[in-house]
Chains A and B, each alone.
Chain A
Amino acid sequence: MSDNGRISLIFLLNLILYFVAGEINFLLETWSLRLHLDALLILFFGLHLNRISSLVYTAILGFLADSIHPAPEGTYVAGYLFLWLLFVNFQRRIRRQNRTHVRAVAAGAQAFWLLALAVFLGFQQWDQWIYWQRILLDLFFSAAVVYALAWPWCYFQKQFLYNLGWDLESEISRM
């Protein structure tokens, strides 16, 4: 299988995660709580895969999220591309084999993205404590879940690629 074929399979895995997150939110929103997993969807593309394919797939995920949310057009596309860029920059600043580094970067990026949305989309509600209570609740909950899942999710995708004949670990070690 070609590299592009393998990356497409990784995209499909992340697409499944996107729908699973929607299904989890269907249950969670009964208690006015929302799980945001945006950073987790892009983490592996930004940290491990090559530039063009990962950028294209990140943009597609951004378009999908953009079409279902009533945010101004392009908010999620721009945000996801920014998150991808953040992860690409962290390729040189963290040890990608270190689980704490990967987890911290993912959770930090998720928290940063939610804060950016809170500032951009809710500027009329900045002075309302209830608004920030809701944002902080979602932020801490999502960041905690992303922190817990970031390493297992990356590890699973690496193992998946390894089984398809692409050893990412050895490529990273050689750098």
Chain B
Amino acid sequence: MPRNFTYQAKSFLLVLLLLLLWWFTPSLFKRWTGVVFQEFQAPAWTALSYIRDLRSYWTTRSHSKSDLIEVGVDLARLNAAYAVRNQQADNLETEIRRLEEFFDLPSFPEYRYEVARVIHRDLTAWWQSLVIRKGINYGIEPGQAVIFSGGVIGRVSKVGAYTSTVELISSPLFRTAAHIDGDDRPVEFRGGINPGLKPALGTVSTVPADIVTSPKEPIRLTSSRLGGVFPDGLTLGWVYVLEASPDGLFQSGKVKLDPRLQSVREVAVLIPLESRGGIAQ
């Protein structure tokens, strides 16, 4: 192991040379390198997620039969309730189509739900993202909406061959149009700065001055189709306090996001289908 005086100086020059080389490398090559290294490690993250699934399978196997029977009964009840809701949804869908045809309205965009497992989380103060186990192979594209049982979770930011990266709504880089529940006027939602050991936060701004909220009766913030990414009405979070801006025209406040955002294991990507009008043509 050399330890002479120039060893450190030579190392410094070598690093400097490498950094200069990187600086002058065309950005296309840099992007290609990024994709290569991402695809290189994707199978390892996927394998780790399968090991996690296997671990959870064996944990579930350790439950007693009576526990499983109890869960089965609960699921049967839920299935019955959802079957009724499905029928109601079908009826409403038929009614919407009839009204669209009657009034010659443009149809709402329709989506296919692609359910995917979360294989990696990257939740820092600078960005908040997830990697899911489906990519181009399932028709996923950048910009598509991603939801979970608690509402909106984010949008696809990067797509690989077998994995995709989802930028969460809690990320400081995230921004979208939204609505206060029951109000048609658009407001602006942004991801927030996330505190440690506490649930993630977001911020809402350009809220009309007549909207009132209180800690006892918080208002629900929902997604808006104005941005062209999300359908209407999906929960983004809850607003407990609003503060008036200096000019008094608008209000802004913090949005409490679903705490499950940080522990979610399964999400659904909304892949837009061709509109009904398009299919008919």
Q: Do A and B bind each other?
A: yes
**A interface with B by C-beta (< 8 Å):** 19, 22-23, 25-26, 29-34, 48, 50-51, 55, 59, 63-64, 66-71, 73-74, 77-78, 81-82, 84-85, 88-89, 91-92, 117-118, 121-122, 125, 128, 130-131, 133-135, 137-138, 168, 171-172, 175
Residues in B34-91 with C-beta less than 8 Å from chain A: 34-38, 40-41, 44-45, 48, 52
16 pairs of residues in contact across A and B, judged by CB atoms under 8 Å:
A19-B48, A22-B120, A32-B198, A66-B37, A68-B131, A70-B129, A70-B157, A73-B30, A74-B22, A91-B3, A125-B193, A131-B193, A133-B195, A134-B125, A171-B1, A175-B1
Q: Please indicate the chain B residues that have their CB under 8 angstroms from the CB of A25 in the complex.
A: 121-122
Least CB distance from B38 to A in Å reads 4
- B11-51 vs A: 1/0 string, CB under 8 Å? 11011001100100001001101111110110011001000
Residue of A nearest to B192 (CB): A130
A175-B38 Cα distance, complex, nearest whole Å:
41
Q: Would A30 and B263 count as touching, CB distance under 8 A?
A: yes
Q: Please indicate the chain B residues that have their CB under 8 angstroms from the CB of A73 in the complex.
A: 27, 30-31, 34
- B93-123 vs A: 1/0 string, CB under 8 Å? 0000000000000000000000000001111
Q: Please indicate the chain B residues that have their CB under 8 angstroms from the CB of A88 in the complex.
A: 7-8, 11
A69-B173 Cα distance, complex, nearest whole Å:
13
Q: Is the CB of B280 closer than 8 A to any CB of chain A?
A: no
Number of interface residues of B (CB under 8 A): 53
Q: Would A26 and B121 count as touching, CB distance under 8 A?
A: yes
Least CB distance from B106 to A in Å reads 35
Least CB distance from B12 to A in Å reads 6
Q: Would B125 and A138 count as touching, CB distance under 8 A?
A: yes
A82-B15 Cα distance, complex, nearest whole Å:
8
Q: Would A85 and B196 count as touching, CB distance under 8 A?
A: no
Specify which of B11, B121, B158 is in contact with A85 (CB 8 Å cutoff): B11
Given A128-B193, A135-B125, A172:B1 Cβ within 8 A: yes
**What 10 A-B pairs are tightest by C-beta distance, nearest first?**
A137-B196, A67-B37, A67-B38, A134-B125, A30-B263, A121-B126, A29-B123, A134-B196, A67-B34, A63-B37
Q: Would A32 and B37 count as touching, CB distance under 8 A?
A: no
Q: Would A134 and B195 count as touching, CB distance under 8 A?
A: yes
A73-B172 Cα distance, complex, nearest whole Å:
19
* B8, B12, B165: residue with the most chain A Cβ atoms closer than 10 Å: B8
Q: Is the CB of B146 closer than 8 A to any CB of chain A?
A: no
Q: Is the CB of B216 closer than 8 A to any CB of chain A?
A: no
Q: Please indicate the chain A residues that have their CB under 8 angstroms from the CB of B172 in the complex.
A: 125
- B167-205 vs A: 1/0 string, CB under 8 Å? 100001100000000000000000001111111100000
Residue of A nearest to B30 (CB): A73
Specify which of B33, B123, B197 is in contact with A137 (CB 8 Å cutoff): B197
Residue of A nearest to B172 (CB): A125
Q: Please indicate the chain B residues that have their CB under 8 angstroms from the CB of A23 in the complex.
A: 48, 52
Least CB distance from B214 to A in Å reads 23
Q: Is the CB of B245 closer than 8 A to any CB of chain A?
A: no
Specify which of B15, B36, B157, B199 is in contact with A32 (CB 8 Å cutoff): B199
Least CB distance from A81 to B in Å reads 5
Least CB distance from A168 to B in Å reads 8
Q: Is the CB of B124 closer than 8 A to any CB of chain A?
A: yes
A32-B126 Cα distance, complex, nearest whole Å:
13
Q: Is the CB of B262 closer than 8 A to any CB of chain A?
A: yes
